[in-house]
Amino acid sequence: MTVIESPDQLPEIYGPVSVVARDKAIDHLDRHARAFIALSPFLILGSAEAGGPADVSPKGDAPGFVAVLDGKTLAIPDRLGNNRTDSIRNILANPHVALIFLVPGRTECLRVAGRARIETDPALLADLAVHGKTPRSAIVVAVDEVFLHCGKAVIRAKLWHPEAQVGKDALPSLGAMLADQIAGIDPDATEAAIEDGYRKRLY
């Protein structure tokens, strides 16, 4: 097995970078980035501990749930979840984060990188409220880099194609899978608790 050990090996393997790919990154949220974020109901947040282990976390809500505060700042509401607070703990140790925004039906995505902080300012959280319920905190990102990413990965995945959707019977229920991984929990009771959370604890 041959392992790539240096960036110097990459041009020989991957070839040259196009001018568009090389120069497309900007340092602010322009009108196109703002429009993309306004239409996006889903993003993936990448973060890492100070010394190493990395984490990715999905964030989703109605389109435009991420607030663009200005050309260099955005705010992500941290809605109810599992209380592991993995991303928040990472940000407190290492502020560098990366985001990928997706828009259903659009193959391209938007990538944003920057430095995050955790805010609990009541006025900000009130602006991010849904159904009268405020998030417990917001992840505020000072933007360093923004660029649009081509749609090849989404096209290959057929992500938005109806025929590519997987039926519920393709995998066991989440409760059943967790019961196989966690000794002593009841799959039916766990699945019932999960479904109850979906109905009552989205916000």
Q: Per-residue pLDDT for the chain (203 aa), expressed as one digit of tens each?
A: 689 999 999 999 999 989 999 899 999 999 999 999 999 999 999 999 998 899 999 999 999 999 999 999 999 999 998 899 999 999 999 999 999 999 999 999 999 999 999 999 999 999 999 999 999 999 999 999 999 999 999 999 999 999 999 998 999 999 999 999 999 999 999 999 999 999 999 99
Residues 70 and 111 in one domain: yes
Residues 74 and 148 in one domain: yes
In this structure, what DSSP letter does residue 62 have?
A: S
pTM: 0.94
Paired residues of 43 in beta bridges: 59, 101
Residues 139 and 185 in one domain: no
Quote the CA–CA distance of 194 and 184 in Å, as a whole number: 17
Q: Has residue 1 been placed in a domain?
A: no
Quote the CA–CA distance of 36 and 77 in Å, as a whole number: 17
Q: Has residue 193 been placed in a domain?
A: yes
Closest C-alpha to 112, from 125, 96, 127, 91:
96
Residues 49 and 74 in one domain: yes
Question: What does the pLDDT read at residue 52?
Answer: 85
Structural domain count, the chain: 2
Residues 181 and 138 in one domain: no
Residue environment code for 126-145, b if the CB has 16+ CB neighbours within 10 A, otherwise e: eebeeeeebbbbbbbbebbe
Residues 34 and 111 in one domain: yes
Residues 29 and 127 in one domain: yes
Quote the CA–CA distance of 190 and 182 in Å, as a whole number: 11
Question: Phi and psi for 144 in degrees, rounded to 5?
Answer: -110, -35
Reading the block at residue 138, the tokens are 């917001």
Q: Which residues span the domain enclosing 175? A: 166-200
Q: Has residue 78 been placed in a domain?
A: yes
Q: Has residue 177 been placed in a domain?
A: yes
Residues 83 and 131 in one domain: yes
